[in-house]
Amino acid sequence: MAAKDSNQGLNKYGNLDLDLFKKHEIESLIQEQNKRFQVICSSKNDAIITSDESKRILFWNKGAEYIFGFTSDEAIGQPITLIIPHELHHSHNEGMERMNQGKEPRVLGKVLELKAVKKGGEEFPIELTLGSWDNDGKRYYSGIIRDITEKKKAELIILNEKKKSEELLLNILPKQVAEELKSKGKATTKRYGNVSILFTDFKDFTVMASSISQIKLVKELNEIFSHFDDILESLQIEKIKTIGDAYFAACGLPEKNTDHAHRCIEAAKHMFRYLEVRNRKNKLQWKMRAGIHSGPVVAGVISKKKFAYDLFGDTVNIASRMESNGEVGKINISETTYELIREKYNCIPRGQIHAKGIGNLNMYFLE
């Protein structure tokens, strides 16, 4: 019987030992969780703030002290609006009341980008993740807050660099073509049935270039062509490129319009007026010719490095011949262009003139 009682005692003590083991295991888990919580709470990267339904701060960790500048003694017991910009107080109070009433929360569990206020009154951007729980009939709220000032600075730098890249791309390509290139990685070659091409060139440019320094020559050309760029932009004409002292532009692409010939003529007239004023003020005299022809072209982006938007077809060659067969101070146009503008402008027929590589063409000077 004694042995039996002894075995029963062992079983009994064994069960007691198991209960104690479970208790110790639970206590260890609680201690581990507390340690983890303490580590998280001691982090300077994130502020952890707890408040109750009265909207007063109950818990304020080291991260909150570091980010906001208030010590825990200064913050605990204060309204949570201590760190909220004044203009957001009303919306914050409305949201808290809505959650206190048990209504569906709009922000719980979401990462929100907001503004907060430091002890010195400085506003700064934050990321907030908000959670809530109920205990003994009361509701509590806890927010994890991260200062994202540096992140926002980096985003702004990236945004500005992207903007510069896009502006640079738009200086090389028409807007529609640039957008297609960005979205698809390539630009479609397109045929346009009727556009107008404007070419300008300077007489005796080679002689002029040999009479002044190359630096001064480039400076002069840059000033003139920059002004030409402004003229084209005001008339929604597309600059294609410059070739030495030649200036090549087109109207009616990539956005089609019906008055492309009129716009090219107005652009050329503005260019002549600008040079006339410039020549009156400067010793260096720029003597320009202008030629315009209208017709079909093919347009596309050439190469995959140093993109170039270019036009191809007889229309381009004929427009170039209009310029080279013109005279200083005059706009020389083809018969095709003449038919498009004859109702609005007076022109002087020049008859058929031989164009190199093309043959005889009817040409007109704009009065």
Catalytic residue (one of 256, 321, 342, 350): 321
Helix (H) or strand (E) holding 261: helix 260-281
Report how far residue 324's alpha carbon sits from residue 320's, in angstroms, rounded to the nearest whole number.
Answer: 6
**CA separation for the pair 284, 210 (Å, rounded):** 13
Q: Are strands 331-334 and 288-302 parallel, antiparallel or unpaired?
A: parallel
Let me know how many helices (H) and strands (E) the chain has, helices first: 11, 13
Reduced to 3 states (helix: H, G, I; strand: E, B; else coil), residue 327 is coil
The owner of tokens 């020389």 is: 332
Q: What is the DSSP letter of 100?
A: H
* Options 162, 191, 344, 356, the catalytic residue: 356
356 catalytic per annotation? yes
Cβ contact 272:264 at 8 Å: no
State the Cα angle at 33 between 30 and 38, rounded to 5°.
125
**Residue 191 DSSP SS3:** strand
In angstroms, the CA 63 to CA 45 distance is 6
Burial string for 216-250 (b: 16+ CB within 10 Å, else e) reads ebeebbeebeeebbebbeebebbbbebeebbbbbb
C-alpha–C-alpha distance, residues 305 and 302, integer Å: 9
Q: Which residues pair with 196 in a beta bridge?
A: 251, 294
3: Cβ contacts below 8 Å, ≥ 6 apart:
none
Nearest one of 181, 184, 83, 165 to 128, comparing CA atoms: 83
Residues labelled catalytic: 321, 356
